[in-house]
Structures are given as C-alpha cells and as structure tokens.
Structure 1
Amino acid sequence: MDENYKTLLHIKENQLIKAFERNNMSCMIVKDEEELHHYLKNILTDQKKVAVGGSVTLTRLGVIDLIKKSDVHFIDRYEEGLSQEQVVERLREGLLSDIFITSTNALTMDGCLYNVDGRGNRVSAMIFGPKDVYVIAGLNKIFINEQEAINHIREYSAPANALRLHKKTPCTRVGKCQDCLNEDRICSSYVKLGYQGQKNRIHVIIIEENIGY
C-alpha cells in the first residue's frame, strides 16, 4: 500500500473510531483475517450462546467456521436438514444470544450504522436482545454521510444480495432498488443505528480490506 494512502487511511480510521465512541459504540481496526480471528478467539469462549446475521463478509472471512470450532454454543441457522420453521426458530433464539456477530450494509464517518433487512432478524438483534453485538465491515462499507450510505444500499447492497439469494425482484434486472411490491423483496426495513443508550454493547470492527456488499 502506498505510504501516503496509508497515512491518509489511518487519519480517517482514527476519525471513525472517535465518531463511534461518541455514539457509545466501540470501534477498532484490524489489518487482515488473521488479526480478526485472533481477536475473536478471545471472546468465543466459555460456552457462550453465539448467533450470526446473514453475511457474505462473515463467510468470506471464515468467521462461521471459526465459531463452529470454538468453545461456544452456536445457534446454527445454516445447519443442514433444517426445515423453514426450524430456521425461523433458530433466528428467534438468536435474539437472546450472548454474542451476535454480523456485518453491516454501510457505516458513516459520523459513527452510524445503516442496514436494510427483509425478515428483520439481523437489525432486530443489533438493536436489542443479544448481550454483545460485533459488527465486522470492510473499508468499502465506509461512507461520508447518510445519503451516500443509503445510495450504496439501494444501488449495490440490496441488488447484490437479491442476486445472491436468487430473488426474482426488479433490482436484479435493472441493478438498483425499484421500491417494488414483490413477494421476493428483501429490503423491507431500513434501520439507522446512531447514539446508543447502552455504552459499548455494539463493537464495530473495521478490516482493512474491501469485502462484502
């Protein structure tokens, strides 16, 4: 990485850390998957109940596999052979977990998290329920302000996830949200998390890579 770019990146990272801290969320930077795993191993212990939100980022960073190998009770929404009813029950159980690990669709330089959800289990858990929430995101998820974050969600996150999930929505054809009334729609709830009343319940972890939607 170019030294000038690296210096600029560190300046912005420090600004972001301070912004999240003002909003009562902790924020830290990790350089790669190895450093991320080293950090997570210290919290994935003691048979804690752990749940996850659906996330390309977690899968690609090997977080799901790490959880399965750890000394925790994993509320595994991905277990083979589950019926749809059983999956929903696992999602409900995850709302009372000790640790909830997820990514985010976007975050802003003023220390806010932005997400769009279909079923709503992910944003529900981020707002209330699990004792601790760990939000892992790449550099590509960082935006200057709310409008940029929303534009990213509408023009990239939602269509990309709809394609990944094989949804038959207009966004998969035209490449951006159409505010459709389609039964396959996955962007039902737009949620902004700003200042938190419970300090340091939400832990934001930025990995110095471009990853996820």
Structure 2
Amino acid sequence: MAKGVLTPKEIRNERLAERIIKNLKRRNMDAFYCPTATEAVKKVSELIPDGSSVTWGGSMTIRDMGIPQVLKDRKTLNVLDRDDAPDRESVIKIYERAFTTDVYLSSVNAISEDGVIVNIDGNGNRVAAITWGPKRVIFVIGMNKVAQTTEAALARARSTASPINASRFDIKTPCQVDGVCHNCNSPESICNYIHFLRNSPQGRHIVVLVGEDFGY
C-alpha cells in the first residue's frame, strides 16, 4: 500500500474517533485522536506540564506504550511508579499519594460511542482516583475498547477485560477457568467496583484515543 494511503480500518477509526470526541466534549471532557502509539505518547507527555507529580493505575496500555519510561526520562516530573516500589506497604503509599498528584493516568475497560467510560476494579484505587483527588485525569484508550452503547461497554468490561485480567493475575475465579463472566462473588473477584463516568463536572478528565489496539 502506498505511503500515506489509509487502510479501511484506519479510515473507520478516524471517523469513529471524531464522533466520540464530539460526544466527550458534550460531557465536558477534552479529547484527542492519535493514529499511532508514538503520536499518543507524545500527546500525553505534552499534556503534562513540567514540575507535575504524576502516577497511573494498573494499565497494560500505559505500560505497553512505554509511557512510564518517557515520563521518567523527562527529569522535570515527580513520577510515582508503583512498579518500582520495594514492598506492598510502599505500593499502598503510592496508591494514597495518587489522590494528591497533579496528573493521574489510566486506561479504561471500555468506552461507549457516545462517550461513557466504564471501568471495573478489584481494589477500587483506580476508580477512586478517577472520581476524586488528582487535579487532572488523562485516559489513554485504544480504539479496540470502543463499544456501541453503554450496555455494550459494560459487557465488554465484564466479558472480555475481566477474564483476561484474571488470567494475567492468575487468580482463581470462574472466569479464569472458562473465559466467561459468571457474575460471581468469588473472594478473589476483581469485579468489586463498577464505575461509569458520564460527565466531568470540573473538566478534569482528558481522553487520548489511539488508533491502534492496546490493552484488554
């Protein structure tokens, strides 16, 4: 294919992203579309001013895109990375400090075409920080996480993201056994907190859509 010619998937992603961005802005969220991960990483870094304190939730999207190292390499940021913590107690302290950071990064389990963001948590620290605390929340979302409706977004979070994450953490839940959500009450469940972000009343949420598949 000639350089500069978009594939059908790229055309679809651009058109769908344009629609989602309009819907997010109606919900008082600023939003951007980046066709590639490289452009998305650059945009995320641009959105974080020098001198900011920044941390993130347990996102494979953010890790796989290399965002943590890019932010650490800037040397002008106070980066809190729980992966560098020596023990569980230190991890908990980073969880707590997240609520006073300037910027909190996260991906999502799903987003509807009309801009509702859906997340499911086991511990609740991520959805808590999304809801309250950090001055700014930046979502980094691969277009593979777009669902047609809010109901479809919830279904994706429960039936796709959660079983995969259960396998990633190797926890003993029914969905880890057969890949299907059983709406369980397992003591090891990672589906304890279900969070819908409909609007950003203080305008503190920003979305960066990525025209590539990232995360679960």
TM-score above 0.5: yes
Look up the SS of the partner of 2:41 in the other structure.
Answer: helix
Q: Kindly, what percent of the aligned residue pairs are identical?
A: 29
Q: Which amino acid aligns with 2:178?
A: V
TM-score by length of 2: 0.92
Q: CA deviation at 1:112?
A: 0.9
**Alignment map for 1:40-55 (pairs within 5 Å):** 40-55=44-59
Q: 2: CA distance between counterparts of 1:103 and 1:121?
A: 13
Look up the SS of the partner of 1:177 in the other structure.
Answer: coil
Q: Of 116, 123, 141, which residue of structure 2 is paired with 1:119?
A: 123
**Alignment map for 1:190-201 (pairs within 5 Å):** 190-199=194-203, 201=204
Q: CA deviation at 1:3?
A: 5.0
Q: CA deviation at 1:157?
A: 0.3
- Asked if 2 retains the 8 angstrom alpha-carbon contact of 1:137 and 1:207, the reply is yes
Q: CA deviation at 1:207?
A: 0.5
- Asked if 1 retains the 8 angstrom alpha-carbon contact of 2:130 and 2:137, the reply is yes
Q: Of 180, 205, 208, which residue of structure 2 is paired with 1:205?
A: 208
Q: Which amino acid aligns with 1:145?
A: T
Deviations 1:55-100, CA, capped at 9 Å, x for gaps: 110111001111221221111211152x212211110111111000
**Alignment map for 1:7-46 (pairs within 5 Å):** 7-46=11-50
Q: Which amino acid aligns with 1:53?
A: G
Q: 1: CA distance between counterparts of 2:14 and 2:21?
A: 10
**Alignment map for 1:78-97 (pairs within 5 Å):** 78-81=83-86, 83-97=87-101
For structure 2, which runs of at least 5 residues remain unmatched after alignment?
Answer: none
Residue in 1 that maps onto 2:139 = 135
Cα pair distance change 1:155/1:45, threshold 3 Å: same
Q: 2: CA distance between counterparts of 1:3 and 1:212?
A: 22
- Asked if 2 retains the 8 angstrom alpha-carbon contact of 1:108 and 1:145, the reply is yes
Aligned length: 211
TM-score by length of 1: 0.93
Residue in 2 that maps onto 1:180 = 184
Q: CA deviation at 1:6?
A: 4.0
Q: 2: CA distance between counterparts of 1:182 and 1:95?
A: 29
For structure 1, which runs of at least 5 residues remain unmatched after alignment?
Answer: none
- Asked if 2 retains the 8 angstrom alpha-carbon contact of 1:158 and 1:176, the reply is no
Q: Of 66, 87, 108, which residue of structure 2 is paired with 1:104?
A: 108
Q: CA deviation at 1:152?
A: 0.8
Q: CA deviation at 1:50?
A: 0.4
Residue in 1 that maps onto 2:78 = 73
- Asked if 2 retains the 8 angstrom alpha-carbon contact of 1:104 and 1:115, the reply is yes
Q: CA deviation at 1:168?
A: 1.2
Q: 1: CA distance between counterparts of 2:64 and 2:32?
A: 20
Q: Which amino acid aligns with 1:155?
A: S
Q: Which amino acid aligns with 2:58?
A: G
